[in-house]
Amino acid sequence: MAFTLAIHAGAGAMQPEKEILPAIHVGLRVALHAGHAVLADGGSALDSVTAAVVALEDNPLFNAGRGSVLTTEGTAEMEAAVMEGAGRRTGAVGGITGPRNPVLGARMVMERSEHVLMVGEGAMRFLRDHDLPMETADYFVTERRQAVLRAELARRVGGLKPARDNAAKHGTVGAVACDRAGNLAAATSTGGMTAKLPGRVSDSPLIGAGTFADNATCAVSATGHGEFFIRWVVAYDVAARMQYLGETLERAAENVVAGLVQFGGSGGLVAVDRDGHMALPFNSPAMYRGTIGADSTARTAIWREAMA
């Protein structure tokens, strides 16, 4: 059976500096090839999406892991989730600072605990006890993210509303895959919103909101204004439309993302079904995204241009 992988690295009114555009495409392709290598070697969809998200977390251009945006207090609080479609096994973490790769923390919760979601200091103790690689807090605080935080806080001091629809607000990374055996998996990781209140949790670690996988329907990883994705249970809604309305993956994904617009919800998602079909809809001006299949050709895009 053919295998496929799709990734995203945030959605919104993306306006990346011209000089970093090539680096964004390179970063997406590095992640695609990391996940593809697993699938090409006969590996599982779960290992593939984990590898892809680890690569995105290690890249400071993207809002997860090393590149996480900062809270109002100038700290990074990260979240991640993984889910496999065969038995709906899942693990997630929230409100953590320290693990180099939060997605590996989510897998650790899934594989070494009886729980689904762990947060805060309790999650950190668990991850330390299981020897997850850690970094100091300074590792996650980059000058680029500090500059964005300063600009956002200055907006608020000036009486302007928070700038919600931009890359710094909607940054999230994620991956979905279908392996040779037809098994599905999804992984999502984020630093959240710039200038979020400490303790805020997004849709990313919430199963059915930002992350979902079920072999009977699809695997989904979402990116956007998380509060809307939580309230409309976006990731699961795609699967539900397929299961109960008989919609194709593409139609279900498009309907769910388009339906958010009337409520003010901005963002997008990547999804794959058990036949390897992919969907990457978004209702914002842009979404960092990429796909790769058995032909080993990585294709990436930012705005609404064709994938290349």
Q: Which residues are catalytic?
A: 172
| DSSP calls for 252-300 | HHHHHHHHTGGGT--EEEEEEETT--EE--BSSSEEEEEEEETT---EE
Give the Cα separation of 171 and 173 in Å (integer). 7
Nearest 5°: the CA angle 299, 230, 34 is 25
Q: What do you get for the CA distance between the two ends of the chain, in Å? A: 24
Phi, psi (degrees; rounded to nearest 5) at 64: -170, 145
C-beta separation of 35 from 173 below 8 A:
no
C-beta separation of 230 from 222 below 8 A:
no
Give the Cα separation of 50 and 174 in Å (integer). 9
Give the Cα separation of 302 and 84 in Å (integer). 27
| DSSP calls for 57-106 | HT-TTSSSGGG---BTTS---EEEEEEETTT--EEEEEEE--BS-HHHHH
Least Cα distance to 47 among 184, 142, 190 occurs for 184
